[in-house]
Structures are given as C-alpha cells and as structure tokens.
Amino acid sequence: MKVVIIGGGSSYTPEIIEGLILRQDEFPVDFITLVDIESGKEKLEIVGQLAKRMIEKAGVSIELSWTLDRREALDGADFVSTQIRVGGLKAREKDERIPLSHGLIGQETNGAGGIFKAFRTIPVLLDLAKDVSEICPDAWIINFTNPAGIVTEALLKHGVHKRVIGVCNIPYNMTQSAAEILKEDPNNVRIEFIGMNHFVFGSKVLVNGEDKLSKIIEALVNQSVDFSPANIVSSGWSETFLRAMNMLPNPYHQYYYQNESTLKKDLKAYQDNGTRAEQVQVIEEELFNEYKNPQLDIKPEALEKRGGAYYSDVACSLMSSIYNNSQNIMTVNTLNNGAIVDLAEDSVIEVNCLITKEGPVPLTVGRLPQQIKADILMMKAFEEQAIKASISGDYRDAYLAFVMNPLIKDEKKAKVILDELLNAHKEYLPQFDL
C-alpha cells in the first residue's frame, strides 16, 4: 500500500507520519512519498529527513521517499493526501490583512480571505485530480486543504476524479471537548453534525446512543467551556443563544453571530501583533529549526500548539477505515446525496457517514432545523458562487461571490477589497484575466 502526501514539506507532515506509524498493524503502509514544489524543496528535505528518522526509530517497515515529481510519485498510490497552501503564508497574510484594513473580518477560510484561498487552490487541486484519475484511478484523495468544504465540492462537481473526501478537525475537536465535559471516553461519544465545513452545528451528543446535548449546553452556559481549535478562540456564547439554538455552534460561528465584537477583537490583535499569518511564520520557523535537529526522531510536542492539530489523525483514521471497510461512523465532507433534504444532491456537506471500502455513505439527517436553515442555505449558495468564480475566473462571478458572502455583502466595499486582493494575488490566479 502506498500513501502520497501532496504538500509533503508542510510542518504538519510529522503528525501524519506518526499517525501512519501508530496504525501500522491495522493499516500496513508499504510506501510513503512526500511531494512538494520547487519553492518548497528545502522544507521538503528537512521534513523528509525527520520522517525518515521517525520511521527508523519506530522500527516499522515503511519505505519513505520525497520528490518534486508529482506524476512519478502518484504511480501506484492508494491514498493521496493534500495539504497545500498556494502562495504560502505570504499569501495568507494578504488574505487576513486586506479585509481587516477595510474593517471586515480577515481570515484564512472565511469571508474575503477564504474566498481567495479557494480561488488560488481550486485550479491547482483540479489539476492534481486529473493526474490522479490518469495515473492511479482507484486512489482516494483525502483533502485537508482549506477551505476544505468548498475545495471538496469543487473537486467532486468539476473534477474528473470522484474518489475525494474532505476532512476537517473541527468535528473531531468538538467531539473531544464534549467527551471531556461529559467525562466520557471520546470513542463512546458521537455528535450528530448538520451543515457544512466551518458552518457545521452539532444537533445531538450521543453517548451509547443516548442524547446528552442538554448536559453540554448546561455546561457551556455555566462554565463557559469552549470548543476551539488553537487559532480560533470563541468568546463565549450567551445563555439565550445556546438555549434558543439548542445546538452546538462551532468556533467559526463567532464571525457570523458575534461579528462586531469578533471584528473588534481581531482588529486589536492585528494592530498589536500583526496578522495570524505573521505569527504562524515565526512558529513555523521555530518548528523547522527543531525539525533540523538530527537528534529529533519523534513528532515534536510543539506541533500540537499549531492550529491544525488532529487534522492528520483524522486523515489517518479515515484511510484505515476505508482500507479495512470498517463501517464505522466518521464526520467527513462528501456529497449530500439526500442526507440533508433541503440541499442539492451534489452539494458537499459535513455529516456523519458510514465509512466503507467504497467510500463514505452519509447517514440521513432529514430537513434542516429551522434555526439554522436560513444560514445554511445562504452559505451553500454563496459557496456555489465562489466555486463558479474559482473556475471561470470571471470578474463579475468573483464580485457576486463577495456580495453573497454575509461577512462582506456591502456592494461598494466588495469592489474595493476584491480589486485589492486580485491585484495582491495575481501571480497565483492564472484563471483571472488580470
């Protein structure tokens, strides 16, 4: 069995290597190939060497290699994981700074920044999907490149390769936190998720099949417990909101339901410390310095403090479940196919699925609960437009995606920010006529 990691020079790679090592019994990988592009060559070398040391230390029989030749790497692949960042952290910095400088949320996966991440990423991944379809047509693409939901929908709707699954660590993190609150083993806790990536809600918290949602809400009301990944700290939901919604929001919801205060907080943080991208650049530098240490032969602890922790763990579990036809339940991004009645069959949603050898099969959810229907329908229609613009490269399509996004909306500001971002990112937007 062969796993190919696109964006193998990423600082996250040691986590996925660790995940594969730990699962070697149930999921016996023979080959791992790390792939990156010319500009990531140095990092790829560092990560490759570290991974090699990790495998040696673990004493497992995995053959590791790294290369800049993607097509060669794909030969014989069973799983292809994607963790790329087109334009790197420099591009992210612009996605955050430019909207903030005009008084709007500037964020890597939501609002104007998220739209531009989609614009830069989708064409690159559609191209990868073409290669996969040609070279290793039975392979599964496990996409954890953000905005994961939008990217996965673009691949499944417009790509030639249909074996694509999107993953995110939010459902995983929320489940872990719920288990902690309930003092239960996370393996016995299953949240029923409804919605789509970064806009998903938890409607039930099942422990051995019994719903403990009200206990979690009580805990949130009383102790202000948060479900937050490292880079998104939610400022606490009001009791009225939690009780009326009667569902678990995810940390990204603060951009929508606490827009003013979140923006204020983000603007202050930006003025005080610059963008999150700039901070991450520092963290990354430190990480790579650590990675270079020839003594290091395990995943460094520091990595867990980085935002995307557990992404790779989720990805490894998913690959193993597919390989073993485990028929367990995981929350992934896949085609709706009727699971949420109000959405189109070919919409990508984030929902609980039975994981089989043939991929994820969503469990039916039914109609959207009224309290989230308005926003879910709106966000999905916006996403469709963002995907359309990503592919067409049409200025008006891009403008409409901005106007349809609730974090932008203003018809005049939309143009100003759009123009500035198009200009800033033009080297990564070949589809646009700039």
C-beta closer to a copy of itself: residue 110 or 312: 110
In whole angstroms, how close is the CB of 223 to a copy of itself at the nearest point?
18
In whole angstroms, how close is the CB of 81 to a copy of itself at the nearest point?
21
Residue 381 binding a copy of itself, by CB under 8 A: yes
Beta strands in 217-346 (DSSP E): 328-335
Residue 257 binding a copy of itself, by CB under 8 A: yes
Site for a copy of itself in 261-280 (CB under 8 A): 261
Q: Are 266 and 100 in contact (CB under 8 A)?
A: yes
Residue 138 binding a copy of itself, by CB under 8 A: no
198 is in an annotated binding site: yes
Determine which residue in the list 384, 421, 428, 429 makes contact with a copy of itself, applying CB under 8 A: 384
Angle made by CA atoms 396, 398, 399, in degrees to the nearest 5: 60
Taking only Cα atoms into account, the Rg of the chain, rounded to an integer number of angstroms, comes to 21
Q: Name which of 192, 193, 143 is nearest 311 in CA terms.
A: 143
Residue 237 binding a copy of itself, by CB under 8 A: yes
In whole angstroms, how close is the CB of 332 to a copy of itself at the nearest point?
13
DSSP state of 34: E
Determine whether 12 is an active site residue: no
C-beta closer to a copy of itself: residue 5 or 414: 414
Residue 102 binding a copy of itself, by CB under 8 A: no
Determine which residue in the list 187, 223, 240, 295 makes contact with a copy of itself, applying CB under 8 A: 240
C-beta closer to a copy of itself: residue 135 or 400: 400
- The label of the residue with tokens 């901070």 reads 279
Question: Near a copy of itself by CB under 8 A, which window of 120-128, 149-157, 173-181, 378-386?
Answer: 378-386
Site for a copy of itself in 294-323 (CB under 8 A): none
353 is in an annotated binding site: no
Number of neighbouring beta carbons within 10 Å of residue 392:
13
Q: Name which of 78, 66, 82, 81 is nearest 30 in CA terms.
A: 78
Q: Name which of 327, 287, 344 is nearest 15 in CA terms.
A: 287
C-beta closer to a copy of itself: residue 235 or 289: 235
In whole angstroms, how close is the CB of 292 to a copy of itself at the nearest point?
42
Total interface residues for a copy of itself by CB under 8 A: 65
Site for a copy of itself in 141-170 (CB under 8 A): none
Distance CA(217)–CA(324), nearest Å, equals 36
Question: Near a copy of itself by CB under 8 A, which window of 6-14, 162-170, 305-313, 360-368?
Answer: 360-368
In whole angstroms, how close is the CB of 299 to a copy of itself at the nearest point?
31
Between the CA of residue 177 and those of 58, 170, 221, 255, 258, what are the distances in Å?
A: 30, 10, 15, 21, 21
Token pair for residue 353? 């699925």
In whole angstroms, how close is the CB of 328 to a copy of itself at the nearest point?
8
- Exposed / middle / buried, residue 270 (Cβ in 10 Å: 0-12, 13-18, 19+): middle
Site for a copy of itself in 318-357 (CB under 8 A): 325, 327, 329, 336-341, 345, 354, 356-357
Amino acid residing at 301:
E
In whole angstroms, how close is the CB of 366 to a copy of itself at the nearest point?
5
What does the buried/exposed string (b/e) look like for 33-48 if buried means 16 or more CB atoms within 10 Å of the residue's CB? bbbbeeebeebbebbb
243 is in an annotated binding site: no
Distance CA(60)–CA(20), nearest Å, equals 10
DSSP state of 138: T
Token pair for residue 424? 């800033």
Site for a copy of itself in 191-210 (CB under 8 A): 206, 208-210
DSSP state of 241: H
168 is in an annotated binding site: yes
Distance CA(331)–CA(206), nearest Å, equals 14
Residue 423 binding a copy of itself, by CB under 8 A: no
In whole angstroms, how close is the CB of 400 to a copy of itself at the nearest point?
5
Please pick, among 12, 252, 399, 428, the residue that the annotation labels catalytic: 252
What does the buried/exposed string (b/e) look like for 62-95 if buried means 16 or more CB atoms within 10 Å of the residue's CB? bebbbbeebeebbeebbbbbbbbbbbbbebbbbb
Q: Name which of 207, 223, 218, 200 is nearest 375 in CA terms.
A: 200
Residues contributing to the annotated binding site: 92, 146, 168, 198
Residues contributing to the annotated binding site for substrate: 92, 146
By the criterion CB under 8 A, which residues form the site for a copy of itself? Answer: 206, 208-211, 237-238, 240-241, 243-245, 256-261, 325, 327, 329, 336-341, 345, 354, 356-358, 361-367, 370-371, 373-375, 377-379, 381-382, 384-385, 388, 396, 399-400, 403-404, 406, 409-415
Residues contributing to the annotated binding site for Mn(2+): 168, 198
Would you please indicate which residues are annotated as catalytic (active-site) residues? 252
